[in-house]
Each structure stands twice: as structure tokens, then as C-alpha cells.
Chains A and B, each alone.
Chain A
Amino acid sequence: MTSLVIAEHDNAELNDATAKAVTAAVALGGDVNILVAGEGCAAVGEAAAKIAGVAKVLVADDAQYGKQMAEPVAALIVSLAGDYDAIVYPATTNGKNITPRVAALLDVMQLSEVTAVVSADTFERPIYAGNAIQTVKSSDAKKIMTVRTTAFAAAGDGGSATVEAISAAENPGISEYVSEELTKSDRPELASAKIIISGGRGMQSGDNFPMLEKIADKLGAGVGASRAAVDAGFVPNDYQIGQTGKVVAPELYIAVGISGAIQHLAGMKDSKVIVAINKDEEAPIFQVADFGLVADLFNAVPELEEELGKIGL
């Protein structure tokens, strides 16, 4: 049994999601290899080789992989698939985009957003926005899955895998990258932030989000939002936490002016400690919060900032 984990990265740095997918792959049993497909991504390959439990890292360094376009990356993974019993991709945007393409080309029914490995062929995954958990047994010879990274701890470092350069596969040549607009921020990205503070419809306007940013900067936190806040145009779509946005599980999640729709809860209810600040004491968010503060956020958030200042933050 050998598994291939596909690395999530930006050509310069290896994303933490990769080490979490390695944990899932290790649970399958057998050897674990990592594929780094990118452009100018040698440093990523070296970082991947340090993850504990990894035997070999394959690096395909080619211009066609620089932007993780689905068609060429899927073609590359398919060309390697014969050597592997399982293909594991973290359920990032790239994983969600590329993995089903690979699965269909190999005539395998994919397992999406696996949250637990029960055995080498049986898995748990959430359905209905996390309102039910399905245990499924795959009868396909090859297992192809995306894994929900919040459900797996990152594999440690200290590994010393061999790094092997591999040649590119033929580019199907049916798609091309045009441009990207990435949100610039010095704050930690949501998927790996230890603390997240999120705003909802109660924030009333995007102009009020700096209130949350001040707290975020004191705590070293990432800033997120509910779907309602994104749909209202307060903040860009990549802030969205929820079933159809990002799924997060930080040490501390502070929900401000968020009522707690099922959609949103599905994206954050696995956080270790949840704080809710809302003036409506009936808001469903309080049913999952460890600490609830029933208050007008426009008073409570500045007070919180002041109190954090008092303890030297």
C-alpha cells in the first residue's frame, strides 16, 4: 500500500494543509509519497521532504503547473497513479478543483472532505452541511479523496524523504491562466490561523470591520466573515467561513454580530473555544459558544480592545 499526497503550495512555501493530508495518508497504512507540482518550487519540495512519515517527494517543476490549473495537474497525477493505491489531496480550492478530475479519469468514485479514516477502505465524511456524518466503504481498488484539513493534526517534521525530480506530463492545452486578484494581508490566513475573529450582518458595513482588525492585530488573529456579511458586500468572498466558504477550526473563534446560521456553524463549530458577541440573546450562535456576551457589538468590541490592552496585548 502506497499513498500519494498532493502538496498544497504557492511555489515558494509549503502550505500546512499538506502535513495534515499526510496524517490522513499515514492512517491508511503503508508508505506515503508527496507530489509537488509547480513552477520554481524546489524549496517546497525540500520542505515536503522534512514532513515526518514521508518516504519520497516527487517534484514536477514546469511552467504549466505554476498556477495549479486543473487540466495539466490532473493529467500529471493520472500519469503517476499506476504506482499508488491511494491519492490524497487536502480539501483546499485546488484539491476540490483537481481531485474529481483525476478520479473520473481513473474511473474511481471520489471520497470528498474525509474527516476520519476508519480503516483503509472506510471513511467518515460530513453531509448536509455537517448536520449528518456518513460512514462509507469504498469498493474501488484505488482510493481517491480530499481530506478536510481541520479534522487532522499536521504531521510533525523531522522526516528526511528522498527528493526526486520528475518530468512533466503532456499538457492537454485546453485552458490557460489569465490573472489573479489576491487579497493582500499581513494577518494569518484563515485555514491556519490559531485565532479568528469574524463579523456578520450585525457589523452593518464594511467600514466597521477595522474594529475587528484592531482586535485581530492584538491577538495575531485572522479576520473572517459570515456569508451574510460577504453577500452584503462588507468584505471580499475569501473572508467567508461556512459550509460553502472556508471550514476552520482554530484554538479561539470570536463571532461578532453573527446570528449563527447552520451554514456558518458548519464552517467553525469544531473550533476549540468559541466566543459569541451578539445583542440578540436568542441568536443560535450562543448554543455553540463557550463564552457568550449579550451586548451591542459597537460597545463591546471597543471594550474588548481596551481590556486586551490592559493585559498587555
Chain B
Amino acid sequence: MKVLVPVKRVIDYNVKVRVKADQSGVELANVKMSMNPFDEISVEEAIRLKEAGTATEIVVVTVGPQQAQETLRTALAMGADRGIHVKTDAEVEPLAVAKILKAVAGEESPELIIVGKQAIDDDSNQTGQMLSALLGWPQGTFASKVEKDGDKLNVTREIDGGLQTIKLNLPAVVTSDLRLNEPRYASLPNIMKAKKKPIDAKTPEDYSVDLTPRLQVQKVTEPAERQAGIKVETAAELVAKLKEAGVIG
């Protein structure tokens, strides 16, 4: 089966983000960018499905500026076969991304789309669910295990009280959680090889998707700072302080 994996370029997860003084957003200039960690897990899962003989081709797609092509190259270096770059400098909300991905899915006819459960920039946790809704496909969100079972897909999901396994008709959308796998690093020879893999250049207009934001960002501010408290010397002193604070006893 063909697998489609959307990837997003975001501020690297190790970077401490800084809010701009004019409250218009966070500082993006000269900040290290990387592939969204949940998307790396999605790419890895697709590669594992291919290595197991379940997947035949892995297509990675990104919606973003020129530099998002580097994110596609990273996925290609990990082992994806080809890329699609839907180029735009606009801020694209999850609903519009889902509409673009729906159109891509219409052209590519994948049997499975693996989406990261959320991007670590806007923390929306929406795109995969929205995409499956627009396609009329079932969704297996927050997956920690994915297994093809005949013409169905078994997905084990991380839920509030533990784990849940569901069976989905194919085609389906899966969103990857942290424990689905541990993504590999691309080897140098594979990084070189990835430079020759094809990337299709597209625009949102090619798919007739309106990118006009529905949510207008009025300001972005720092969260309330928490003040460091005091150090206690012993467990006895700690218990006394907690009693004083009225939270125990």
C-alpha cells in the first residue's frame, strides 16, 4: 500500500522560544528549525511498514515556505521515496492544511496517511482528525501500535486510562504518539542519496484551497511567571511547611 506522510517544519524542540516584544508572535529569526518530532515518528513508522513489506511507496508532503524543502529532504534521507512541497509563506491553519492534504490524497490515492498527533509550535492536535473527516475515512489517533490485518488496520491508541485497540477500514488516517517508535537518524550516504529524490513543487492555488485564516491572532504573550520558593533542609521541615500551607493533614 502507498503511505502518505505530512511533515511540518517547526522551531526545534530544544530551543527555548521567546515571545516578541511587540506581542505579534514568537521570535523565528535565527532560530534552529527541525521536523516536528511527531512527524519524524510518522515517517519512521511508514519506513518500518515498507521494510516489513506492508508499504510499497512512501510519499512525504509539506505545506510551508521555501525552507520547508529541507524538512522534506530530511524525510527522504530517512527513507521516504519522494516529496511534494506545497509552497506558501502564509500561516496556514490546520483546517486549511487538512483541505490541501485532502486534495493531495485525491491525486495520490494512498491507503494510509500517518500524521503527527500535534505540531509542537501551535499545539493544535487537529490536522489528522480534520483530514480523516474531510476524506470520510476512519481515524486512529494517538497511536502507539499500527498493524495491518487483511484489508483492515488495527491501531492501539493511548487513551486517558491506558490503551485502546480499534479496527479501521482502509484507507485510514493514523496520528502518531510518542511511543509508536523511535525514529532513526539519516546516514550520510542516505542524506546524499536523498538529494536526488524527486520533489514536486506545488502551490495552494493548484489545489484551489482558500488559506484565509479563521482565527485572528490578537497577541502572543509570556505566560505568568512562577516564583521560586524556599529550600527546606529536612523532610520534617517540609511536612511542617505543607501543614502550614494547608495542603496536607
With beta carbons under 8 angstroms apart, the residue of B231, B239, B247 that contacts A308 is B239
Contact: A227 with B167, CB < 8 Å? no
Query: A87-106: contact bitstring with B at CB < 8 Å (1 yes, 0 no)?
Result: 00000111011111111110
**Dominant SS among interface residues on chain B:** mixed
Report the minimal beta-carbon distance from B128 to chain A, rounded to whole angstroms: 8
A137 contacts partner chain B, Cβ-Cβ < 8 Å: yes
Q: Tell me, in angstroms, the Cα distance from A127 to B16 when the chains sit together.
A: 12
Report the minimal beta-carbon distance from A144 to chain B, rounded to whole angstroms: 10
Contact: B141 with A96, CB < 8 Å? yes
Contact: A132 with B132, CB < 8 Å? no
Q: Tell me, in angstroms, the Cα distance from A290 to B233 when the chains sit together.
A: 14
Contact: B216 with A137, CB < 8 Å? yes
Q: Tell me, in angstroms, the Cα distance from A308 to B249 when the chains sit together.
A: 9
- Contact residues, B197-249 vs A (CB, 8 A): 213-223, 226, 228-236, 238-239, 241-243, 245, 247-249
Q: Tell me, in angstroms, the Cα distance from A172 to B159 when the chains sit together.
A: 22
The chain B residue sitting closest to A106, CB to CB, is: B133
Q: Tell me, in angstroms, the Cα distance from A169 to B192 when the chains sit together.
A: 53
Q: Tell me, in angstroms, the Cα distance from A191 to B11 when the chains sit together.
A: 29
Contact: B248 with A127, CB < 8 Å? no
* A contacts with B, residue count (CB < 8 A): 94
With beta carbons under 8 angstroms apart, the residue of B128, B138, B164, B232 that contacts A291 is B232
* Number of CB contacts from chain A to chain B under 8 A: 262
With beta carbons under 8 angstroms apart, the residue of B133, B139, B154, B165 that contacts A105 is B133
Report the minimal beta-carbon distance from A7 to chain B, rounded to whole angstroms: 14
Known: A136-B215, A189-B161, A291-B238. A96 touches B122 (CB 8 A): no
Contact: B166 with A178, CB < 8 Å? yes
B66 contacts partner chain A, Cβ-Cβ < 8 Å: no
Residue from B98, B123, B231 whose CB has the most chain A CB atoms within 10 Å: B123
Contact: A127 with B122, CB < 8 Å? yes
Contact: A93 with B142, CB < 8 Å? yes
Known: A69-B166, A100-B130, A127-B121. A238 touches B160 (CB 8 A): yes
Q: Tell me, in angstroms, the Cα distance from A177 to B139 when the chains sit together.
A: 12
By size class, the interface of chain B is 35 or more
Contact: A275 with B242, CB < 8 Å? yes
Contact: B235 with A109, CB < 8 Å? no
Report the minimal beta-carbon distance from B23 to chain A, rounded to whole angstroms: 9
Contact: B158 with A238, CB < 8 Å? yes
- Contact residues, B54-109 vs A (CB, 8 A): 93-95, 98
Q: Tell me, in angstroms, the Cα distance from A286 to B228 when the chains sit together.
A: 7
A287 contacts partner chain B, Cβ-Cβ < 8 Å: yes
Q: Tell me, in angstroms, the Cα distance from A100 to B144 when the chains sit together.
A: 20
Q: Tell me, in angstroms, the Cα distance from A84 to B210 when the chains sit together.
A: 25
Q: Tell me, in angstroms, the Cα distance from A110 to B138 when the chains sit together.
A: 19
Residues of B within 8 A of A (CB): 11, 16-17, 19, 26, 93-95, 98, 118, 120-134, 136-142, 144, 154, 158-169, 177-179, 213-223, 226, 228-236, 238-239, 241-243, 245, 247-249
